[in-house]
Structure formats: C-alpha cells, structure tokens
Amino acid sequence: MTSAGATPVTASLDRDGCILRADDRLTVLQIEAGGQPNGPFALPSLAGVVRLALRLGMPLSRPVDLARDEADISVWAQLRPENDGVHLTLIDWQERRPRQPMSHAAALEAMADDSASRGWDWQVDDQMRFSHLDLSATRIGHAVPEDGDTFTAFFALADSGGAEGGQRAMPMIEALVRHMNFEGQHAYLRSDPDLRYILSGTALFDHTGTFSGYRGHAVREDKAAIFPPEAAPEDLVAAQAASPAPERAQSEFIGPALSRRLDTALRQPISRIIANAGTIGERIGGPLRQDYANYASDIAAAGRHLLALVDDLADLQAVEGPGFLTTSEEVDLSEIARRAGGLLNIRAEARRITIQAPAADEQVLARAEYRRVLQILVNLVGNAVRHSPEESTIWIRLDEVDGRARVVVADQGNGVDPADHERIFERFERLGNTDGSGSGLGLYISRKLARIMGGDVTVESALGRGARFVLDLPAWNKSRSGSQVG
C-alpha cells in the first residue's frame, strides 16, 4: 500500500448532500464515477456517510473505501454537520493496487485446475432477482435463469461447512443480512441437484449508498478439490510429507488462499474496531473520562497497526508470486521524493522532525514503476521518522551516476551496526523496533521491489552516526520504450 497525500482532502455539502465545494482530488473521483462537480456524491460509500451525518445531526468519524480504475483507495472520513449542511475531511489517504475480485479468489480456492473457464457471472437486484448474466455460455451445459427469475428459484443453497456448534454455514445468507461480500457458498440447481456450484458475490450500492444487489460468480464444484471436507487425517499427513522441506521460505506458509482469507476476514472487522474506538476517543458521543478516551485512542492505533500488517502480508504474497511484474516507465524521482516526504510530514511534525525533500527545480529520471517507487520511498522515509530523535532532520537527496539514478534518505538516528546491514532486509526482521511498531516486512518488500525493477536498496550506516538508505534504479534512457519487467 502507498499513501497519496498527507494534506487533508475537504469538501462542503448542503442539506441535500450536494457538493458546494470540494478539493481537486475528490472532484476528480466524483467525475470519474459519473457524478457532477456540484451534484450529490456518485461515490456510494461517501454518499452513505454524508447521508448518515445529515440524518443524525452529529459528527462522525469512520473508514471509507473508494475505488478508481488504477487503484483502491481507503481514507479516514470525518464529518461535521453545520447549519447549512456538512463539512467533510478525508485524512490518511491510502492507495493500493486493485485487489483481485473476490469471485475469482473463491474459484481459485475451490478448484485445483482452471475452474474459471467453467464459471459464469451473474447479477441480482436488491430483491434477489436476476438482472444480468454474462455467461461463458455455450459451455454451461444446462438451462440458465432469465431476467426477473428469483435467485432461490434457480439455486438451492447448501451447507458450506466450517461452522461451529452444529450450526449450518451459509456465507451468502450471513452476508445478505449485513449487505457484505461473500465467498465459498455451496449451492445446487433446483432443476438438477447433481449440478453443484460454489458461489461468491460482491455487494452493490447505488449513488446514494443504498444496497442494490450482488454481482457474483458461479463455478462448478470439482470432485478433485485439493482438500475435500471429507479428507481423512492420513490424507493430510501424506500431503504434508509431499510438501517442500521445512527450511523453505517463511512466506510460503502464507499461501494465496490464506492471504486472501486474512484480507477478507480481518479488514472489515478491524476497520469497524478502528471506527468505533476513534468515535469514543474523540468523545463524539458525549463526555468521557480522559483515561477512557486515551484507552480508546490506543485501541484505534493498534487497529491501524494490524491493518498495516494485513497490507504487508498481501504485498509479500504479491512480490513473491511467480507472475509478479512491474511496469517500466519514465519516473521523476524528485517528484516522488517530495510526495513521499509530504505524506510523512504530519507524522514528522508531531515529533518536531524536519524533512528536507528535493527542491521543485530538481529532476532525476529513472526507469521504474511510479507507485512502486513511491511505496519504497514512503517506507524508507517512514522508517527514518520512526528511528529519528525529536527535533532532528531527515534529508532526501538525489544523484545520477553512470546510468544509475539514486535517492538517498538520511537520518540522525542511532544508526545500524555494519554487522546488521543485511539482516535488516530479511523477512519479519524488526531490529531496533523496541516499541513494537512495524511488521518487519517493509525493508524486505522494498528491496524485493527495487531488484525486480533492476535496482536495489542498500544501507550505509554505523552505530551512533545515523543511517543512509539508498534506492538505486536504472536511469531513464529515452531510446528505450516502456515495458514490463519481472
């Protein structure tokens, strides 16, 4: 994940939820979503919280997820009702690559081969009536529902397993009650119970934030699933015996299925904990003792740390995947360095740390992927802020030598022992993080990304003399065109 801006994004809306004024970044998203600059939000998640704040007439603070073609965006929304409407402030703007659709993830988990080729997409309205089918059609092999047919007249839901206490597991029913995404719902055709499917779906919302149905994927069950529910213990032992040796990379234990499940299972409940704790800590609901407010703020901070860990695990799975690629394009390291410094400026100012970024007239061009370079620099500058003493300075400097473009992030912290210069780039290494912060993956992922782009991340440091982290990349050569590397 990368941050896209430390400066809060603000907007003012009238009593009807129409935009009176909005910062450029929000206006761009509004237009991309098909809305008008002075109309109601066309972004369902924002429209929903604005409507809630207007209805309750009280301040709100909660996480909000947005999306655009090239990135998923998460922000922290703060809403303050006013006499003529509501004032909106978005902070902690975070961008990440679009996640693989949940429907495909469910298909991959459910089947051992390319099950997507035997699946089909469906869409239902808020009354669970089919409204759209996008079939891989001639291969489906049975009659299909017509527009207007009810979902339950076509599919019968089956116990999906995994529930405790003798309860039936019905992911779709549980999700429908709360208008959430779901996956792994077993079902069969009412017209032919032998035709069994695994269903997944993404909840849809209209421009007002009102639930409008599901867009989903149906994929045929495969009797050759890797670990069917009835698998005997000896089958699992045999599978373990056939697995790679114990000394394999630690990250291999975080397989794609587990990584997706962690993301799905943890992100929403943790976000709710952060939202509720933030509301308590800010005393939005009324007066509260200071020690309780502080406790709630600590809970919110711990929740954000957990979300960052989930993001790091997702990034780790991505960069170590066999098909991971980065784009090769012209990027201005000076502009990215200034942006990274700006993203961390609020955190630095809280400890009276000065970040000296490159001047606006500096330019060093490199061949790399913009968002990956930004991700690396945000990590390096963030580490510098974390390990620097109060009232110190962090320098971000540029250099270009012998066809290489470099960014140097230097701090005045305790430094790194030369004996640990390689150790700090290992997975889950948290050398010097005595406060429990960080996941121990940031530097590992940063170096991995840099090397995939033909570069490297190194450190120059000695104990008591600060640290200089160097991002080295190929300099831009205009004679070469953009491509993908991996």
pLDDT at 274: 78
Percent of the chain exceeding pLDDT 90 equals 19
pLDDT tops 90 at residue 200: no
Average pLDDT, the chain: 76
Query: Lowest-confidence range among 63-77, 148-162, 193-207, 274-288?
Result: 274-288
Nearest C-alpha neighbor of 254 from the set 300, 214, 314, 197: 314
pLDDT tops 50 at residue 102: no
Query: Lowest-confidence range among 67-71, 196-200, 412-416?
Result: 67-71
Strand pairing class (119-124; 326-332): unpaired
In sequence order, which residues have a C-beta less than 8 Å from that of residue 53 and are 6 or more positions away? 59, 60, 79, 80, 81, 86
Look at the chain and count its residues. 486
pLDDT at 447: 92
pLDDT tens string 296-330: 777 877 777 677 767 766 667 677 766 677 888 89
pLDDT at 305: 67
pLDDT tops 90 at residue 93: no
pLDDT at 58: 79
> Quick one: average pLDDT of 162-167?
42
> Quick one: average pLDDT of 50-63?
80
What's the CATH class of domain 102-243? alpha beta
> Quick one: average pLDDT of 344-361?
90
pLDDT tops 80 at residue 205: no
pLDDT tops 50 at residue 129: yes
> Quick one: average pLDDT of 402-419?
92
Bigger pLDDT: 110 vs 385: 385
**Quick one: CATH architecture of 1-96?**
2-Layer Sandwich (3.30)
- Tell me which of 3.30.70.580, 3.50.50.60, 3.30.565.10, 3.40.50.1400 is the CATH number of domain 326-485: 3.30.565.10
> Quick one: average pLDDT of 424-452?
75
> Quick one: average pLDDT of 440-447?
86
Do the two domains 1-96 and 102-243 of this chain adopt the same fold?
yes
pLDDT at 277: 78
pLDDT at 267: 66
> Quick one: average pLDDT of 28-38?
85
Q: Which amino acid is at 376?
A: I
The answer to pTM > 0.85 is no
> Quick one: average pLDDT of 373-379?
90
Bigger pLDDT: 110 vs 264: 264
pLDDT tops 60 at residue 82: yes
Query: Lowest-confidence range among 53-67, 171-185, 218-232?
Result: 218-232
pLDDT tops 50 at residue 22: yes
**Domain residue extents for the chain:** 1-96, 102-243, 252-324, 326-485
